[in-house]
């Protein structure tokens, strides 16, 4: 008869991040286990710790959605578009100039066309500016 041994389970000491001290400790632990392999206990801990850190950062340091016009200009730059390229999307040269210079508000039709052409989320384009 073989003796029965109870396998001692290692318990991760993970708790919600509620303040700067908790955040600092979580970041230190993250550095220690950063290269943990998926499917291991440390890999699981890394995954959970990352989610907790992300949640804390999103709550503590929220990032506002970008200004619609700045988002359009940024996306145009990324895509290598010029102002004349936007004419094919929202209308003649004067209209494009007015929109980009904030003299004309985006219409619902413009928002739909920009969303389709530039792949900017509608929730960014409808934001007040």
Task: Output the tens digit of pLDDT for each of the chain's 129 residues.
Answer: 555 655 554 556 789 999 999 999 999 999 999 999 999 999 999 999 999 999 999 999 988 878 999 999 999 999 999 999 999 999 999 999 999 999 999 999 999 999 999 999 999 999 988
Contacts of 117 (CB under 8 A, 6+ apart): 89
How far apart CA 68 and CA 100 sit, in angstroms, is 10
With contact defined as beta carbons under 8 Å apart, do 65 and 124 qualify? yes
What phi and psi values does residue 96 have, to the nearest 5 degrees? -60, -45
């Amino acid at each position: 008869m073989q003796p029965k041994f109870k396998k001692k389970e290692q318990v991760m000491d993970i708790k919600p991040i509620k303040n700067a001290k908790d955040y600092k400790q979580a970041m230190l632990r993250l550095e220690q286990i950063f290269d943990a392999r998926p499917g291991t206990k440390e890999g699981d801990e890394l995954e959970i710790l990352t989610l907790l850190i992300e949640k804390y950062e999103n709550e503590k340091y929220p990032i506002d959605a970008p200004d619609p016009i700045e988002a359009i200009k940024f996306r145009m730059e990324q895509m290598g578009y010029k102002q004349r390229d936007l004419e094919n999307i929202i209308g003649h040269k004067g209209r494009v100039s007015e929109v980009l210079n904030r003299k004309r508000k985006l219409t619902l039709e413009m928002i739909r066309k920009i969303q389709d052409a530039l792949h900017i989320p509608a929730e960014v384009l409808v934001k007040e500016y």
